[in-house]
Amino acid sequence: MITVLDRYLGITVIRGALLALFVLVALSGFFALLGELGDLQNQYGLTEALLFTALTLPRHAYELFPTAVLLGSLLSLGGLAAGHELVVMRASGLSVGRVARAVLGAGLILVLLAAALGELLAPPGERYAQSMRSAAQTGFISMKSAHGFWARDGDSFVNIRRVLPGAHLRDITIYEFDQQRRLRTVVHAASAQYRPGGWLLQDIRQSSIATSGITTQALGSREWQSLLRPELLDVLSVDPEDLSAASLLEYIEYLEQNNLDSARYQLAFWIKIATPLASLVMLLLAVPFVFGPLRSANAGTRVLVGVMLGLVFYLVNQALNHVGLVYGLPPLLSALLPVALFALGGAYAVRRVS
């Protein structure tokens, strides 16, 4: 049963976390804007830089969410401790475990907010920001490779040099192989437009390779049935970490259908799951600090401890993520192990101060 004290603790923690998130995102956005000012060129001016920064703020908020929750909970609960409100609650029979449960209950609301940021706001904002920025600077969305984007499509390999907004492709080459892995056909299209049912290739030059020689013919247009769809091409504009979990799952399925390595995208998917859970862990870690060594500390000390603890979690998390990729650990283990370790540490610390 939720009591008045549970609601009071929950509201206090949520208010502190959101305030800390606002401050951190404002600082992150300010420094991001300063970085963009050095890239002003062509049609990418100050207005576009401001728009780009604004569109990427949800991503900054999502990445900073666990740290903001930790700082906000330390400050809000620390304020209650400094005002002796927690002492009164303890004297009235409220245990440390009960306080932790009330705080984690509020954390569930914060987890939903973090998930909404990571799934609904950050990915489309990041895609549009990168597309707008690239279009303003160069006139098209360029690939990360100097030779364009390569993809496997069944028994074919596809090279796409340019992707433009609105599901338009430019300079596409399709290399078709037979079952014995012998190159049989090379199709080059000047452009392609996606429409329901597949792609329409235009201005085609097709070369067929046979034992008797190579024959080349020009075609006006033709349909191209491919596993590549516009939503899958989002990976050309943004990093795996900036895609939604649904998009990552779809792209992982595409990679596995073509027997390609999907470890990086699987790791990014599980990190998407782990990040909201990390917010709960940060709340759990804040409780023993408030009842223990930081009970009578000032706000500056609590901020310093929060920053240091958040930094340790970030470094451990990044280290295990990268070690997992290098040594081939299961992505699920690499993503969730840091959260599990800190959760166990937080639970042990709560038990010690109870």
Higher per-residue confidence, 238 vs 57: 57
On the question of pLDDT at 33 being above 60, the answer is: yes
Higher per-residue confidence, 85 vs 14: 14
Is the Cβ–Cβ distance between 310 and 282 less than 8 Å?
A: yes
Same-domain check for residues 23 and 109:
yes
Q: Is residue 244 included in any domain, yes or no?
A: no
Q: How confident is the model at residue 332 (pLDDT cuts 50, 70, 90)?
A: very high
Q: Is residue 30 included in any domain, yes or no?
A: yes
On the question of pLDDT at 136 being above 70, the answer is: yes
Q: Is 170 helix (H, G, I), strand (E, B) or coil?
A: strand
Strands 149-153 and 156-164: antiparallel
Same-domain check for residues 132 and 10:
yes
pLDDT at 295: 63
pLDDT at 309: 84
Same-domain check for residues 162 and 132:
no
Q: Is residue 81 included in any domain, yes or no?
A: yes
Beta bridge partners of 219: 204
Same-domain check for residues 272 and 338:
yes
pLDDT at 299: 64
pLDDT at 85: 85
Show which of 226, 248, 273 is a domain's final residue: 226
Q: What is the pLDDT of residues 297-324, one digit of tens each?
A: 666 677 777 778 888 888 888 888 888 8
Q: How many domains does the chain have?
A: 2
Higher per-residue confidence, 3 vs 104: 104
Same-domain check for residues 79 and 161:
no
Q: What is the pLDDT of residues 45-72, one digit of tens each?
A: 999 999 999 999 999 999 999 999 999 9
Same-domain check for residues 134 and 164:
no
Show which of 206, 226, 246 is a domain's final residue: 226
Q: Is residue 59 included in any domain, yes or no?
A: yes
Domain interval for residue 341: 4-138+264-353
Q: Is residue 148 included in any domain, yes or no?
A: no
Structure tokens given for 278: 């990390």
- Average per-residue pLDDT in the chain? 85
pTM: 0.76
Q: Is residue 239 included in any domain, yes or no?
A: no
As a whole number of angstroms, the distance between CA 317 and CA 167 comes to: 36
Same-domain check for residues 169 and 215:
yes
Q: Is residue 182 included in any domain, yes or no?
A: yes
Same-domain check for residues 114 and 56:
yes
pLDDT at 239: 72
Q: What is the pLDDT of residues 116-131, one digit of tens each?
A: 999 899 988 888 888 7
DSSP strand E in the chain: where? 141-142, 149-153, 156-164, 168-177, 183-195, 198-210, 213-224
Chain CA centroid to CA 306, Å: 23
Same-domain check for residues 48 and 122:
yes
Structure tokens given for 231: 């939503």
Q: How confident is the model at residue 108 (pLDDT cuts 50, 70, 90)?
A: very high
CATH number at residue 175: 2.60.450.10
pLDDT at 172: 92
Strands 168-177 and 198-210: unpaired
Q: How confident is the model at residue 41 (pLDDT cuts 50, 70, 90)?
A: confident
Q: How confident is the model at residue 145 (pLDDT cuts 50, 70, 90)?
A: low
Same-domain check for residues 165 and 302:
no
Same-domain check for residues 134 and 268:
yes
Is the Cβ–Cβ distance between 76 and 15 less than 8 Å?
A: yes
pLDDT at 164: 65
As a whole number of angstroms, the distance between CA 162 and CA 142 comes to: 6
Same-domain check for residues 35 and 132:
yes
Show which of 197, 226, 255 is a domain's final residue: 226
Q: Is residue 46 included in any domain, yes or no?
A: yes
Higher per-residue confidence, 75 vs 231: 75
Q: Is 71 helix (H, G, I), strand (E, B) or coil?
A: helix
Helices 299-327 and 263-291, interaxial angle, to 10°?
150
Per cent of the chain over pLDDT 90 is 35
